């Protein structure tokens, strides 16, 4: 009874809760306002069904889960039965969220420890609990309505908050999209800027390259224009000088008065040559054939101009003007001429040309001894220096070669064929300037390479030809590549093999000195060649003196003298002074 009264006198507060925060506030409010001391709190977990299942009934079904509610009727250590409303399992709610009953553990502990308070439960107790429950129905309904209104307000707040968040999210997404678009635009602009920068840089490099090429082209063009101007100036100067030379009378060049030679008629020439008989023909060159004849009881050589000879008339006039006004023991002597037909009459040279003697053309022609070769070299240099020192203007031979060096019966060498010789300004003799010719002349392998390339003529153009000819004197070899072969043999120590094998008693040391001097004369560059009067001729005179000292008594006393005009003659002793020769006269200009 006491227990029934106590139970009936007390009240049980029930709170319906759901899976939201509002239920927590409702439970707290019920504890603070509705639950007096020593009263029980009943938490009811509500699970709503779907709208389709709840239509028509209007009744909210709920489940009372004693697993989550600490019952006031439970004794410690005793089991109890739990009853659930069908289709109202709300265990998933309590599993994920903390239950309200865990907020008040002390209250539940008091209920558990009050073992005697609920020990005698009977039907009357049950009825008392039912009556107390019914007495609280109205208050529970009031609270349920209030709770629903609060839940509705909370739902509205949540929806409002959701809308606000969605709006903010939308705005954020719009801002992000705008930022992405701006970033893409900036990236594209950066790429375009980079591309433009690369194009500008490439354009700048191309412009610099074009500028450099243009500058280089302009410099080359200026050099070309400057070279053309210099060349035109040189041509004009050459033409001016040539005009002055052509206008100058022969007397102004070689002295006063007419040319000093005898004039022959064509009838005299035809009679002397037996109407140009082939039996009297002893040679032929570019100018024309040469006949051995006799005029005025003197052995002569007559050179007849070919009708089709290139520049033959000019060569004839040049040779007549030069040889008729100069005299030198090492220059061939012009005896007369037939101007109407271009015939030249020279003294007869019994031993022919140096080319014939070196290569032993003709019957019974002995090889030239080395002593005689040294003498011939000195005589050629002496005659050439005479031409270069002609006054008032020097003469350049331009066609110096063994074929134009003639040997008389005493093997005295004389320079012939001066038809290509040219007068050059006096300054050329001092190696200050060069005289430009519009066309080069000479023989291949003997012509000055610098003169051949540039047309600039100077007295050292003859020095190159002299060097090649001197090398042939000691080697008796063709001129092609001769300088290369001789220089290589000197470097390798095989120079004796280059000497003419027809001579067995070569003085190798003196011959090598002779060859080195000849190589110096045959330098490719004109400025590298030695001076004829200061270097070349003094050295050759020393070698000639050495050769005269080495002559055998047989040669000195002339035991091999005599001979005919066509072949080899005898050796007649000669001293170093050319004036002792039979046909020698002092060098002079008439």
Q: Residue 332 carries which DSSP code?
A: P
SS3 of residue 40 by DSSP: strand
Q: Residue 367 carries which DSSP code?
A: P
338 token code pair: 């037939």
**Does the bond joining 6 to the residue before it have cis omega, within 30 degrees of 0?**
no
CA atoms within 13 A on the CB side of 107: 18
Counting beta carbons within 10 angstroms of the beta carbon of residue 180, is it exposed (0 to 12), middle (13 to 18) or buried (19 or more)?
exposed
Long-range CB contacts for residues 547-553, cutoff 8 Å, separation at least 24: 547/370, 547/371, 547/372, 547/373, 547/374, 547/375, 548/371, 548/375, 548/575, 548/576, 550/371, 550/507, 551/371
Q: Which residues pair with 299 in a beta bridge?
A: 294
Q: Give the Cα separation of 265 and 199 in Å (integer).
A: 90
Maximum Cα–Cα distance across the chain = 200
Q: What are the DSSP calls for 185-213, one per residue?
A: HHHHHHHHHHHHHHHHHHHHHHHHHHHHH
The length of the chain is 590
Q: Residue 504 carries which DSSP code?
A: S
List of E strands, 256-390 = 262-263, 281-284, 289-295, 298-304, 326-327, 334-338, 343-347
**Cβ neighbour number for residue 238 with a 10 Å cutoff:** 18
Q: Of 125, 356, 399, 462, which is the active-site residue?
A: 399
Where does residue 53 fall: left (phi above 0), alpha (psi -120 to 50 degrees), or beta otherwise? alpha
Do the bridges between strand 12-17 and strand 298-304 make them parallel or antiparallel, or are there none, so unpaired?
unpaired
Query: Is 110 noted as a catalytic residue in this protein?
Result: no
Q: What are the DSSP calls for 43-58, one per residue?
A: EEE-----HHHHTTT-
281 token code pair: 């023909």
Q: Catalytic residues, which ones?
A: 399
């Amino acid at each position: 009874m006491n227990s029934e009264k106590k139970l009936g006198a007390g009240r049980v507060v029930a709170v319906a809760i759901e899976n939201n925060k509002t239920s927590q506030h409702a439970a707290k409010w019920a504890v603070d306002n509705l639950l007096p001391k020593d009263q029980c709190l009943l938490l009811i977990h509500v699970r709503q069904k779907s709208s389709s299942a709840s239509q028509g009934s209007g009744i909210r079904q709920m489940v009372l889960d004693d697993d989550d509610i600490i019952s006031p009727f439970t004794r410690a250590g005793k089991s109890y039965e739990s009853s659930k409303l069908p289709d109202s399992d709300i265990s998933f709610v309590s599993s994920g969220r903390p239950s309200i009953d865990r907020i008040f553990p002390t209250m539940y502990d008091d209920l558990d420890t009050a073992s005697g308070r609920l020990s005698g439960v009977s039907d009357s107790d049950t009825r008392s609990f039912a009556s107390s429950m019914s007495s609280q129905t109205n208050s529970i309904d009031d609270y349920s309505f209030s709770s629903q209104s609060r839940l509705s307000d909370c739902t509205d707040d949540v929806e409002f908050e959701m809308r606000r968040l969605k709006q903010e999210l939308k705005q954020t997404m719009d801002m992000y999209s705008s930022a992405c678009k701006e970033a893409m635009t900036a990236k594209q602009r950066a790429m375009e800027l980079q591309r433009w920068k690369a194009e500008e840089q490439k354009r700048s490099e191309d412009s610099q390259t074009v500028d450099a090429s243009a500058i280089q082209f302009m410099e080359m063009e200026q050099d070309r224009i400057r070279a053309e101007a210099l060349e035109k100036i040189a041509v004009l100067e050459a033409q001016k000088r040539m005009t002055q030379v052509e206008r100058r009378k022969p007397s102004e060049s070689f002295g006063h008065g007419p040319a000093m030679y005898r004039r022959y008629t064509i009838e005299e020439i035809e009679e002397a040559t037996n109407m140009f008989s082939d039996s009297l023909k002893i040679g032929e060159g570019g100018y024309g054939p040469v006949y051995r004849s006799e005029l005025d009881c003197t052995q002569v050589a007559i050179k007849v101009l070919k009708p089709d000879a290139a520049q033959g008339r000019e060569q004839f006039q040049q040779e007549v003007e030069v040889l008729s006004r100069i005299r030198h023991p090492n220059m061939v002597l012009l005896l007369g001429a037939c101007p109407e037909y271009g015939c030249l009459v020279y003294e007869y040279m019994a031993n022919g040309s140096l080319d014939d003697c070196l290569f032993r053309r003709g019957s019974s022609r002995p090889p030239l001894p080395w002593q005689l070769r040294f003498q011939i070299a000195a005589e050629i240099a002496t005659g050439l220096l005479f031409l270069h020192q002609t006054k008032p203007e020097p003469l350049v031979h331009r066609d110096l070669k063994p074929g134009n060096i003639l040997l008389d019966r005493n093997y005295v060498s004389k320079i012939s064929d001066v038809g290509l010789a040219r007068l050059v300004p006096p300054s050329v003799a001092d190696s200050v300037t060069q005289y430009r010719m519009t066309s080069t002349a000479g023989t291949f392998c003997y012509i000055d390479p610098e003169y051949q390339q540039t047309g600039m003529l100077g007295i050292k153009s003859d020095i190159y030809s002299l060097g090649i000819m001197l090398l042939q004197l000691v080697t008796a070899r063709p001129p092609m590549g001769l300088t290369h072969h001789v220089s290589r043999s000197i470097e390798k120590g095989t120079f004796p093999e280059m000497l003419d094998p027809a001579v067995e008693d070569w003085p190798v040391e003196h011959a090598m000195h002779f060859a080195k001097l000849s190589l110096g004369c045959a330098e490719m560059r004109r400025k590298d060649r030695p001076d004829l009067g200061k270097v070349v001729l003094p050295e050759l005179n020393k070698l000639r003196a050495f050769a005269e000292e080495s002559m055998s008594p047989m040669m000195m006393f002339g035991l091999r003298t005599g001979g005919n005009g066509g072949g080899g003659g005898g050796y007649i002793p000669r001293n170093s002074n050319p004036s002792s020769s039979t046909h020698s006269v002092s060098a002079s200009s008439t």
